[in-house]
Amino acid sequence: MKTEYGKIADAKKRSKRRRQLKFIPLWKNPFPKEISVDYHHINNILTIPIPKKTHQKINGNLNGNSKEHKKHNEKWMQKLYCLDINTILK
For the chain, the average pLDDT equals 81
Q: How many domains does the chain divide into?
A: 1
The three-class DSSP label of residue 38 is strand
User: Is the dihedral angle over the CA atoms 47, 48, 51, 55 positive or is it negative?
Assistant: negative
Distances (CA, A) of 81 to 17, 44, 48, 67: 28, 20, 10, 21
pLDDT in tens, 16-31: 556 677 888 888 889 9
CA dist 42 and 47 (Å) reads: 6
Give pTM, 2 decimals.
0.69
Phi, psi (5° rounding) for residue 40?
-95, 130
For residue 82, what are the domain limits? 4-89
